[in-house]
Amino acid sequence: MHQILVVDDEQDIRNALRIYLESEGYQVLEAKDGKEAVEIVKNGQIALVLLDVMMPVMDGISAMAKMREESNVPIIMLTAKGEDTDKVLGLNVGADDYVTKPFNPVELLARVKSQIRRYTKLGDAHGSAAEEGSVYAVGGIELNDISKQVTLDGEKVSLTPREYDILKFLMEHPGQVFSPKQIYEQVWNDPAYGAENTVAVHIRHLREKIEYDSANPRHLVAVWGHGYKMEK
């Protein structure tokens, strides 16, 4: 049974999320602020975090940054704002997805299931069902799809599940240009609403981890007006 951590300072929202998630067989833990959530993630076996942005003691963005120092657990942001500011900032810090309040339970559960499937697959590095996979290499970047590890000049690089999927997709097709819409549909497996902004944020964050100079990338490059590609 997967454990999901619900982090929100409003008890009513935590209660509603608990009902939705438990109806799907998930075990739910709760935290009312970011500081409490960071400790739970540090000490528990959490499969996914639903994280509110605006909270006392420690806000969601700060809590996410702390979590990302030690964990690549999937994080879905909960934001009450209609603007993109919190969403983009959260994705840049390391969130994998976001849901805007008031949320649609069907959409929320679909996103939860998608992230847990991806995280479980990413963590199943040595499972018996794993087929003999491939190792992709571009310059000093190497992606091993059996061990699910990425290295830069032999040093391990810690990626979120979403970042890993984007990198793998592009490394599988070196030299081929993909539009943000194409990348979004392949990686998110969802209709590409708002794809350009979301993909751009993830690409920027990924470059910070795999490029020596993220402002002047040599491997994951933009082809202006068309999209992105991984240089051969």
121: left (phi over 0), alpha (psi -120 to 50) or beta: alpha
Residue 188 lies in a domain: yes
Q: Which residues pair with 28 in a beta bridge?
A: 4
Using the 3D structure, point to which of 123, 155, 173 is the last residue of a domain.
123
User: What percent of the chain clears pLDDT 70, i.e. is strictly above it?
Assistant: 86
Residue 192 shares a structural domain with residue 160:
yes
Residues 107 and 139 in one domain: no
Contact criterion met (CB below 8 Å) for 126 and 40:
no
Q: What is the CATH number of the domain that holds 148?
A: 1.10.10.10
Give the DSSP H/E element, type plus range, for residue 202. Answer: helix 195-210
Q: Are residues 142 and 119 in the same domain?
A: no
Domain co-membership, 145 together with 194: yes
Same-domain check for residues 100 and 196: no
Domain, as residue range, for 209: 135-230
pLDDT tens by residue, 54-88: 888 898 888 988 888 778 788 998 887 655 555 55
Residues 188 and 119 in one domain: no
Q: Which of 80, 102, 123 is the last residue of a domain?
A: 123
pLDDT tens digit string along 22-63?
999 999 999 999 999 999 998 878 999 999 988 888 988 889
The last residue of one of the domains, among 90, 123, 156, is 123
Tokens standing for residue 113: 């299931």
Question: Is 15 within the bounds of a domain?
Answer: yes
Is there a single domain that holds both residue 145 and residue 110?
no
**Structural domain count of the chain:** 2
Whether pTM > 0.75 for this model: the answer is no
64 plus 100 within the same structural domain? yes
**Count of Cβ atoms closer than 10 Å to residue 41 Cβ:** 24
116 and 171 co-located in one domain: no
